[in-house]
Structures are given as C-alpha cells and as structure tokens.
Structure 1
Amino acid sequence: MYETITLKTDGRGVATLTLDRPEKHNALSAQMIAELTQAAGQLASDEAVRVVVLAASGKSFCAGGDLGWMQAQMAADPDTRFTEARKLAEMLNALNTLPKPLIGALQGNAFGGGVGMASVCDVAIGVDSLKMGLTETRLGLIPATIGPYVIARMGEARSRRVFMSARLFDAAEAVELGLLACAVPADALAEAVEAEVRPYLSCAPGAVSSAKQLIQSLGPRIDDAVIDHTIRQLVTRWETDEAQEGIRAFFDKRKPAWNR
C-alpha cells in the first residue's frame, strides 16, 4: 500500500508509522508527503488505534525536504509551487491534529523538515548522539511551513536561538530548547518510548482525543490563515535569487555566493 513509509499496529492498538527511505535519509519527497497524509487520515479514523509512534529506519530520522523535490519547485510555475507547498503544509497539519497521541522516536539526526516532524509530535524522544538543525537558510530558504509547529514547541524566545542561523545542535540542547522531552542512549530508546506509550492504554481514548484538542485550542493559533501565510512565505522565498543560488550551489557541490 505504501512505498516510502510503513504502518503497523500491534494487538494493544499501538501503531508505528515509520519513515522508510533510509537510502535518502528519510527526506520528504512528494510521494512520502502524500503517503504520510494518507496514513494520518487512516490512523485518525481507525478506532482500534490508541497511540501512534512516529519512527524512522536507517541512520537518520529525517533529513528535511528532498532536494530533488525542492529543485523541481524551483523550476515550476508559481501555481504548481503553491500546490506543492500546500501538500507539505497539509501533511504537517494532519499529523499535528491527529486525534491520537503521537510519540516521536528519533533514532538519528533531524534537519529542516525533520525538526518540523518532531515538533508535530506530542512527545519526542531522541538518542543522545543525534544532531538537529533548522538548516533552510543555508540554502536561501526559510523554515516556513514547519514554522508554526516549531515555534509552538519551543516558544518565540528559544526559537530565535536556532530558527535563523541554521546552526546544528546536539540532543542535550534539543532537550533544553523543548524539541525533545529527553535524550537517551540508543539502546534505551525503545524502552523510553514504551514508557510514554503505556499510560495511554489505561486512558479513555475519547477523553485523550478531547484533551489534545483542548490543548491545541488554548495554545498558539495554527489555523487556515496561519497555514496559508506560511505557504505564501515559502513560495515567495522559492522565487528569490538567493534560493536559486542556494539550491544550485548545493547540487554543484560548492559554497553559495554569500558563504564567507
């Protein structure tokens, strides 16, 4: 059914949604974005599912946007760019509003959109050896569609530390920033995730869903207007000379013009 992800549910109702493009460091391609959106809808409507774990295969959790996908957007017309950016935004929103607890299990690095994927989780746990970073500005881009979720997770003050500079940070700082609930040795990740999953199995599923909706209604506003704003910001940025130079430099394996 799926080619870039896997979805399995155990007898307890714990579903594991796994990013499964290890050879591409689980970068978000157009196909993966579509499949994640479909899986989110499937999980939302499945009454047998009590909890969802978002995991990944291979060395990386998620390297962000697939650069081939981004390169295609650079060559596309504005309407196509807007449509593709909306697909990305809708996928993130579908996971963020999933009416089930979503537990992130980060077994490896998360960059760009990968930080966004961690941010839509209700709880994210990572291995203590991982690195994270919002790396978009190195390419002349901005973390637009993931922005509402990253800022909701970290808050504005902490976001300012890493949102613009593209610097990488370790798991300990990710905990300090609020992106990770905790960082554990690799061999303790499964146990730490299970410790987050288990309490939900004694809770009323409907009450858990309502509680999650209440949190989101009381937290930072992430509605259609906000999402549309981020889409426009991303599409506008794709059209700049900096973005053209940044993507071109990456594929040419050279430094962009602004890199001193």
Structure 2
Amino acid sequence: MNTIRIETDARGVATLTLARPDKHNAISAEMMSELAAAAESLGMDSTVRVVVLAGEGASFCAGGDLTWMQEQFAASRKQREKEGRRLARTFGAFNDLPKPLIARVHGAAYGGGLGLVSVCDMVVAAEEARFGFTETRLGLIPATISPYVIARMGEGRARQVFMSSRIFGPAEAVALGLVGRVVPAPDLDAAIEAEVAPYLGVAPEAVAASKALARSLGPVIDDAVIDDTIRRLADTWEGAEAQEGVGAFLERRKPSWKA
C-alpha cells in the first residue's frame, strides 16, 4: 500500500497509519481504496484485537486531497457521485469495523479527517490538535461525513461547528463529543496504550457483538441516507459557490464572499 501502513504487534494491536505526511495525510482516491481494503482485512483478521488509527508527520488528516479535488472540479455529475459514494463507503466500513477503533489525533483534523475521527470508538487528542469542518470555505458541504458526524455529536452540538468552518481546539472537541480524552503531546502514546489495555482482557467476539449492538441502537445510516448525502453533495458541486470557492482555493486567492 502506498498511502497507509499497517503494523500489528504480538498482542494483536494493529496500528493503521495514514502515510502521506508531505500532504498532511489528505485523503486521495488511492487512500480511499486502500483504507476500504484495510477495513475489510482488519475486520476479518481474528488475530487483531484492537485497531489504532494514527497519522504520520505533522497532521492527523487535513481533509480532501488537492489533486482529487481538482478532478472533482472538472468531473461529470455521475463521476462525482461515484467518488462521493466511495468515500462514504470507506467511512462506513470503519464505522462498522468489528474491532475497537481508537484514534490517535495530533495536528490538524479537518474535513474528511473529522469523518475518520467520528467513526472511531475512542478518540485521544494531543493538546495542540486542531479541528474544523472546513468545507463551507470552498462553497461545499460536509456531506459524505455527515451521517457519521451527526451520529457522533448529535444534531444540536454539530450545528455549533458544522457550517462555520471555524477552527477549534481539543477542549471544545471534548465538549462537542468528538474527542474523549486530551493529553500533552509527549503523553499521547501512553494514553493510547491505556485505552488499548482493557481490550486485551475481554472476549473479542463479545466486544464485536457489543459494538454492533450499540451501532444498531444509534441513528440509521443505510443506503438511502448515504444516497441522499451524495445527491446533496453533487448538487452543491454544480452550484456557483463551489465553482468560485474551489477555483479560488486552487488559484490561491480569496473567494468573492470573503471580506
């Protein structure tokens, strides 16, 4: 794999690392495919007890990849819907992963990075981490991540940060329900180990069944929900604001609505 790395220790703790540090681990088309394959592989591997999701370099995940965004800017509606559905299915695969999934967050977690955060069972963040739903800066909407974000945060809390593209810190992320624990950056690995340890003493199948139970009692995220988010995203891509916002981003200028 070119964009991610998986290492599993003797205890059955698998660390899945986003490995595009030069791009702040932005989600590319290739990364989507590799993440989906990883979710399937890890889910089927009986030797894996816990999965830790981390990012290499300065950021956890800064959102969508620039090249992928450029491709969507010029793509047909059919192609945009196909790509949006692929991204949504990737998030869904991790949301339904039959293993405990713990996020190790540092640096930036923006846009799609918050989608990854939202499908984790526990999120531990460094004090210097920063979060933001940044899609509206580009005239877009956080569509593909929205079912998982709303399931994680609840509608009321999500609306505080979902539309403004405001960047916020880990303390607010805890209050909003995105993050479970915040620690100084040097203590991040120890904090992850503390979250991993309990799972090494419990029955793996019971853990998987308990997670599936919790998920079944949460908001419904089925094909109809995903299809609706994809339609809304495709509609937005076709609008004048997306053309202006993405164009301004690619041209490194202010969009027309920014003071």
TM-score with structure 1 setting the length: 0.98
Q: Contact 1:74–1:239 (CA<8 Å) still a contact in 2?
A: no
Matches within 5 A, 1:125-204: 125-204=124-203
Alpha-carbon distance in structure 2 between the residues aligned to 1:20 and 1:186: 19
Is 1:234–2:238 an aligned residue pair?
Answer: no
Structure 1 counterpart of 2:84: 85
Structure 2 counterpart of 1:63: 62
Q: Which amino acid aligns with 1:74?
A: F
Shift of the alpha carbon at 1:104? 0.3
Structure 2 counterpart of 1:209: 208
Structure 1 counterpart of 2:43: 44
Secondary structure of the residue that 2:102 maps to in structure 1? strand
Secondary structure of the residue that 2:30 maps to in structure 1? helix
Alpha-carbon distance in structure 2 between the residues aligned to 1:123 and 1:233: 29
Alpha-carbon distance in structure 1 between the residues aligned to 2:104 and 2:167: 19
Secondary structure of the residue that 1:161 maps to in structure 2? coil
Matches within 5 A, 1:244-255: 244-255=243-254
Q: Which amino acid aligns with 1:171?
A: P
Secondary structure of the residue that 1:88 maps to in structure 2? helix
Is 1:97–2:96 an aligned residue pair?
Answer: yes
Shift of the alpha carbon at 1:21? 0.2
Alpha-carbon distance in structure 2 between the residues aligned to 1:32 and 1:60: 16
Q: Contact 1:126–1:182 (CA<8 Å) still a contact in 2?
A: yes
Shift of the alpha carbon at 1:239? 1.1
Render the CA deviation track for 1:53-76: whole Å, top value 9, x for unaligned.
Answer: 000100010000112211201111
Structure 2 counterpart of 1:6: 5
Alpha-carbon distance in structure 1 between the residues aligned to 2:140 and 2:96: 26
Alpha-carbon distance in structure 2 between the residues aligned to 1:21 and 1:255: 27
Alpha-carbon distance in structure 2 between the residues aligned to 1:24 and 1:97: 27
Q: Which amino acid aligns with 1:257?
A: S
Alpha-carbon distance in structure 1 between the residues aligned to 2:236 and 2:97: 29
Secondary structure of the residue that 1:178 maps to in structure 2? coil
Alpha-carbon distance in structure 2 between the residues aligned to 1:230 and 1:259: 26
Alpha-carbon distance in structure 2 between the residues aligned to 1:23 and 1:107: 15
Identity across the alignment (%): 60
**What stretches of structure 2 of length at least 5 have no aligned partner?**
none
Q: How many residues align?
A: 259
Is 1:24–2:23 an aligned residue pair?
Answer: yes
Structure 1 counterpart of 2:255: 256
Alpha-carbon distance in structure 2 between the residues aligned to 1:176 and 1:7: 31
Alpha-carbon distance in structure 2 between the residues aligned to 1:153 and 1:84: 23
Shift of the alpha carbon at 1:79? 1.1
Q: Contact 1:119–1:179 (CA<8 Å) still a contact in 2?
A: yes
Q: Contact 1:54–1:102 (CA<8 Å) still a contact in 2?
A: yes
Alpha-carbon distance in structure 1 between the residues aligned to 2:200 and 2:181: 21
Structure 2 counterpart of 1:111: 110
Alpha-carbon distance in structure 2 between the residues aligned to 1:231 and 1:97: 19
Shift of the alpha carbon at 1:107? 2.0
Q: Which amino acid aligns with 2:145?
A: I
Which consecutive segments of 4 or more residues in structure 1 shift more than 3 A? none
Q: Contact 1:119–1:149 (CA<8 Å) still a contact in 2?
A: yes
**What stretches of structure 1 of length at least 5 have no aligned partner?**
none
